[in-house]
Structures are given as C-alpha cells and as structure tokens.
Amino acid sequence: MSVVSHTAQTIIARQAEGVMWGETLSEREARAMERVLPELSSVTWAKPLVDRIERDGGLCSDNMPLLFEARFAHALLNQGPAPEYEFRAGVGDTVIDFRVPGNADWLFELTSIRPSEAVKRATVEDGPFVSRFLSSPNVGNTADENKESEEGEMLLAQQKIGAKVFDGVGATKFPEPDGRIHVILVDMRAYLNGGDPWDYAQIAYGPNRMPRELVHCWLHDGQWQPIRGLYEPECLGKAAPFVQQRIHFLAFVAEKTYEPNEILEKLLLLPNPNLLSDSDLKLVAAECPIKVGV
C-alpha cells in the first residue's frame, strides 16, 4: 500500500452553473424546491418541516441540509405508509428525522456534509471560476496542511456521521437495536464534488473491500495507516462503537439534477456486517420502505 494514496488535484467549476460541490444553493436546486415545498405543505406529517424551512429563511444556502430533508420527505410520499417526522426513539430528548412504519419500522436520520474550514482554505476564487487544491498528507506538513487533503475530508465525514449516534458523552438519537432498522443517510454533495462509491466504502468498511491503489491513508503515531471504516473495530473514532452496535445501514447520495426521486435512484445503502448477516439482508431488503436495492 502506498504511503500517499492520491496526488494533488485541482478542481475547477463554474459558479454561474452553481456547481460548487454543494456549497451554495444553486438555481437548479431552488427551482426544484419551488415545486417540492408546496406539495409537502399540504401533507400533515411534512408540514412542520416546511414551516421550519420558511421560519429559518426559506430558499437559502444555510438551509441546504433542511432542503435535503424536504426532498427525502417528498420521495417518501409515494413509498407507502405515512412517515412520522422528528420521531422520539427513546434516547433522552433527542429525535430522529423520519420513522417509516412497516412490519419493522425504519428510522432515518439525515446529515449533510458541509464544506470544512480546511477545504475553504484550499479554495481560490477567480471571477466566475473556483479552483481547489487538495494534496495528500505528508510527514513534513503541519497538522492544518494535512487537513487540506482528501484524507482529512474523509475523517471529518466520519466525525459528522458519528455525531448522529454519539454526542461526546453518550449515545444519542438511536437506541440499541430492538427490531427497528436504523439508517443514517448522508448528503455527500459538498464532499469532494460528491465523492464516489469507493470513498463511501472506505468510510463504512475501511480498506479491506477496496483496491489497494485507492485506499486513503493517514499518519497515526508516526506511521502511515489506512483509514479504518466506521464498521471496523479498529476504527479510532469515538463514535465508531456506537455505529457498529446501533446502525444497520449507512446510506450515501450526491444529487446532481434534483429531479423527483433522484435521492432514491442514486442512494447507496451499505449494510453493517456487525448487525446484518447475508441471510438477514435478503429479509431486510424485501421490507425496505424506500424501494432501493441493497
């Protein structure tokens, strides 16, 4: 395995088209939401979400995580029984974004990976163009310089996901498994131009299911080591044990068109081998309320 997994890269996008790695609300996304929000406002279970978006400023960049929730809610409309928004699953006063009822309830918590401070430092604007320079971590770099890398962004994404199960003190949102299926759905638009399935696989499973040349490495205790996945006992993240014990699926999506049901069409569900065997997956897939493959 090579010490440096990726070479420096430059990504250029046109601001005029709103292609800025999901950092700002694009015209395309705004137009899509102008169709989605009126439909949701007439649905009893979804109206609190629409009201919250309007209360927090409506169609603006700061509301992009909420707009992602709204598009997922819209995709659920034709998927079967009516969901429950902001469901209390029994972990203190915390709530989970959506409960979808069925033979087994499915609990969906959504999170959006937003641009990190390291990525902002690595971004240069020149008129209508944006250039981003990310390089692999290096022993000679400062800690901040190493964060300006794909590897640094992967670790931050894991932290963001982990915050949905562990608040730094104890478990949050998701209880121990009790027959319900637990899913964390991750909006990856602002992660390295959406990332790719190999990025998602390493975030969840670590290096063992990936081609060696694509594995991201990080410096731990003076030695280069592959970044371990949230499902792996070797993962150093404090939230990882909670993910391993409580989350059945990590799901990833990076929208491009914002067309109806794009989330479901592009959604990648990655099952947790600590909780789901191959035989379990066949049964669970048949009950999946969002009609996507596993």
pLDDT in tens, 113-138: 986 544 444 444 444 444 444 455 55
Question: What integer pLDDT is reported at residue 267 of this predicted model?
Answer: 93
pTM, two decimals, is: 0.84
CB-based burial, 47-72: b 16+ in 10 Å, e otherwise:
eebbeebeeeeebeeebbebbbbbbb
Question: What integer pLDDT is reported at residue 261 of this predicted model?
Answer: 86
Question: What integer pLDDT is reported at residue 285 of this predicted model?
Answer: 82
Q: Is residue 111 part of a domain?
A: yes
The low-confidence residues of the chain, meaning pLDDT below 70, are 1-22, 115-148, 291-294
Q: Is residue 192 part of a domain?
A: yes
DSSP character at residue 265: H
Q: Is residue 25 part of a domain?
A: yes
- Structural tokens at position 264: 């479901």
Question: What integer pLDDT is reported at residue 143 of this predicted model?
Answer: 52
Question: What integer pLDDT is reported at residue 78 of this predicted model?
Answer: 82
Q: Is residue 4 part of a domain?
A: no
Question: What integer pLDDT is reported at residue 148 of this predicted model?
Answer: 53
Number of structural domains (the chain) is: 1
Residue 47 main-chain phi, psi, to 5 deg: -60, -40
- The domain in which residue 90 lies consists of 9-287
Question: What integer pLDDT is reported at residue 188 of this predicted model?
Answer: 96
Question: What integer pLDDT is reported at residue 219 of this predicted model?
Answer: 79
